[in-house]
């Protein structure tokens, strides 16, 4: 604690000088008041990460500051980075990248290195559990099914070196449905090493399809894939909202996999070891508007099966309203291999838009949000059906895309809240119909369906 106070006071003390303490006079240049850094720091103040700066212990966003004054505020935030949630950490990372030169000259980097060295050899363990129950009703036939999942995950993180970390996750699944009975599995879902070189991070081993993103989503999440069991290498630079990611990854899809229609008639199209090329990027164009894009190429199964994914999409996140408490998320994409994946004529296009009010924080009891989405997914748009997407131990995310990524259009409603620290609950309801009636080719009469879902996540 004393070290943090000394570093912060030293940074503020040095920033107060206006003499020739630093060689480059231009370093004292003002930061324009419309610069995105002001909004980032305001967010950190509201989150309680930055305290006691400026007049009356407050941050005055209308006052023009120099780059060194800004760097001093960032140094203040860095001393409390461990207590920050994912959103606050992302803001701190952006500020550190912007004011890195000034932080170096303030001597803050050495403090950060010392902090890392103190953590060498430490192992962090986190336990994640999920209870999920889903009832789906075919409006046309009146038939309904209920599926229940109980999932457990034990996650480990260890810092091996100043620029090296090890991650692992052991997960177990208990799935019960009226049609499939009960199944139990346990597996090593993640086991990889992360190496940092300059601004780049390299992941080697079993990981998620996009470990640069807290929720392991490609773009905004329209293409459902998985957060684990991908073997290969990937690299990324930046933070969740401002990054460039690429990976060459393999995953085995077992025989009997449920296809996009809920049966196994086309399962041979998916069975086997498949290799994927994945690219994903995101960038804040303004403090309130984030643009992102993704490309996923499936090269097929080694036994000769053709690829079922050649996917491109563009998405955006726009925050607005008082205190940015409204968020509009949209994505549009196309899978060029949709016709083969679905076994019927399809252009493979799809889009989804989601409007959210509020924000849940697993560390903040009583936080909540409500949102509504509308989607239109042509057949084969996302052939790998499923409903696993835990979102990690720190960033639970809404469900709704799993099992509903192909040949559906309709609306989903969500209410999410945190009744206690580290407990996240979601209640959701869906009303969908199929885009193309495939009953003639699949034997399924399902045309309209309603679904109700309860999810309870705990993590500590």
Q: Which CA distances in Å does 451 have to 107, 248, 428, 429, 433?
A: 56, 35, 8, 6, 11
- CA dist 311 and 405 (Å) reads 13
HSE at residue 30, side-chain half, CA atoms within 13 A, is: 7
Q: Which CA distances in Å does 459 have to 126, 203, 263, 399?
A: 7, 24, 33, 17
Residuewise pLDDT in 10s, the chain (460 residues): 444 444 444 444 444 443 333 334 344 567 777 788 888 888 888 777 886 555 555 666 667 788 878 888 888 888 878 778 778 888 888 888 888 877 877 765 444 444 544 556 688 898 888 888 888 787 767 777 787 878 888 989 998 988 899 999 898 865 544 444 445 678 888 899 999 998 899 999 998 776 665 456 688 878 766 677 889 999 998 877 888 999 999 987 765 444 444 444 445 566 778 899 999 999 999 989 999 999 999 888 766 668 888 999 999 999 999 888 999 999 999 999 988 887 788 899 999 999 999 988 888 899 999 999 998 988 888 876 543 444 333 334 434 444 567 788 889 899 999 999 989 898 988 888 888 876 655 444 456 678 888 989 888 8
Q: Is 413 helix (H, G, I), strand (E, B) or coil?
A: strand
* Nearest by Cα to 172 from 429, 385, 371, 390: 390
Six-digit token string for 69: 């004054």
* Nearest by Cα to 53 from 36, 83, 73, 70: 73
Instruction: Spell out the domains of the chain, with CATH numbers in brackets.
Output: 2-118 (no CATH), 123-459 (2.40.160.10)
Look at residue 446 in the predicted model and tell me its pLDDT: 52
Six-digit token string for 292: 């992102």
- The H or E element that residue 286 is part of is strand 272-286
- CA dist 256 and 112 (Å) reads 50
Look at residue 180 in the predicted model and tell me its pLDDT: 43
Q: Which CA distances in Å does 201 have to 237, 251, 361?
A: 6, 21, 27
Q: What is the residue-wise DSSP string for 20-42?
A: SSSS-GGGGPEEPTTSHHHHHHH
* 384 neighbors 409 (Cβ within 8 angstroms): no
* Nearest by Cα to 28 from 38, 16, 13: 16
* 273 neighbors 301 (Cβ within 8 angstroms): yes
Q: Is 44 helix (H, G, I), strand (E, B) or coil?
A: helix
Q: What share of the chain is helix, strand, coil (3-state, %, to 5)?
A: 20, 45, 35
Look at residue 23 in the predicted model and tell me its pLDDT: 38
Six-digit token string for 12: 């503020």
Strands of 98-180, DSSP E: 123-138, 144-161, 164-177
Look at residue 258 in the predicted model and tell me its pLDDT: 44
- CA dist 421 and 432 (Å) reads 34
Which residue do the tokens 């106070």 mark? 5
Look at residue 194 in the predicted model and tell me its pLDDT: 94
Q: Taking the chain, what is the end-to-end CA distance rounded to the nearest angstrom?
A: 24
* 188 neighbors 169 (Cβ within 8 angstroms): yes
Q: Which CA distances in Å does 7 have to 27, 78, 115, 144, 431?
A: 21, 10, 12, 61, 55
* 112 neighbors 81 (Cβ within 8 angstroms): no
Task: Supply φ then ψ for residue 451, to 5 degrees.
Answer: -145, 145
- CA dist 420 and 432 (Å) reads 32
Look at residue 265 in the predicted model and tell me its pLDDT: 46
- CA dist 395 and 360 (Å) reads 9
Look at residue 153 in the predicted model and tell me its pLDDT: 87
């Amino acid at each position: 604690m004393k070290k943090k106070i000394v570093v912060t006071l030293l940074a503020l003390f040095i920033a107060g000088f206006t003499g020739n303490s630093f060689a480059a006079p231009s370093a004292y240049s003002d930061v324009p008041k419309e610069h995105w850094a002001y909004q980032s720091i305001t967010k950190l103040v509201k989150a309680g990460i930055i305290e006691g700066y400026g007049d009356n212990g407050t941050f005055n966003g209308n006052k023009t500051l120099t780059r060194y004054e800004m760097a001093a505020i960032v140094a203040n935030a860095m001393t409390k980075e461990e207590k920050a949630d994912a959103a606050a950490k992302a803001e701190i990372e952006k500020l550190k990248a912007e004011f890195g030169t000034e932080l170096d000259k303030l001597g803050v980097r050495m403090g950060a290195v010392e902090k890392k060295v103190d953590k060498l050899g430490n192992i962090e363990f986190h336990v994640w559990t999920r209870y999920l129950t889903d009832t789906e009703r075919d409006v046309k036939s009146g038939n309904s099914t209920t599926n229940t999942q109980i999932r457990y995950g034990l996650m480990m993180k260890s810092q091996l070196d100043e620029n090296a970390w090890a991650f692992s996750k052991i997960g177990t699944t208990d799935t019960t449905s009226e049609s499939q009975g009960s199944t139990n599995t346990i597996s090593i879902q993640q086991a990889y090493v992360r190496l940092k070189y300059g601004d780049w991070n390299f992941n080697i081993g079993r990981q998620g399809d996009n470990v640069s993103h807290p929720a392991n989503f490609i773009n905004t999440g329209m293409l459902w894939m998985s957060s684990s069991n991908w073997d290969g290498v990937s690299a990324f630079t930046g933070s969740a909202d401002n990054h460039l990611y690429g990976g060459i990854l393999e995953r085995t899809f077992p025989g009997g996999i449920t296809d996009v229609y809920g049966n196994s008639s086309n399962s041979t199209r998916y069975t086997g070891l498949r290799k994927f090329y994945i690219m994903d990027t995101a960038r804040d164009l303004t403090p309130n508007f984030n643009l992102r894009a993704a490309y996923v190429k499936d090269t097929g199964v080694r036994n000769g099966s053709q690829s079922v994914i050649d996917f491109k999409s563009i998405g955006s996140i726009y925050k607005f309203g008082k205190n940015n408490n409204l968020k509009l998320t949209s994505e549009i994409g196309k899978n060029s291999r949709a016709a083969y994946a679905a076994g019927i004529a399809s252009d493979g296009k799809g889009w989804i838009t989601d409007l959210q009010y509020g924000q849940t924080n697993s560390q903040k009891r009583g936080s909540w949000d409500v949102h509504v989405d509308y989607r239109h997914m042509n057949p084969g748009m996302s052939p790998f059906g499923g409903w696993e997407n835990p979102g990690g131990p720190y960033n639970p995310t809404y469900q709704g895309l799993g099992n509903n990524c192909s040949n559906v259009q309709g609306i989903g409603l969500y209410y999410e809240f945190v009744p206690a620290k580290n407990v996240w609950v979601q209640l959701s309801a869906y009303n969908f119909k199929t885009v193309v009636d495939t009953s003639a080719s699949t034997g399924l009469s399902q045309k309209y369906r309603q679904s109700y879902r309860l999810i309870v996540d705990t993590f500590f």
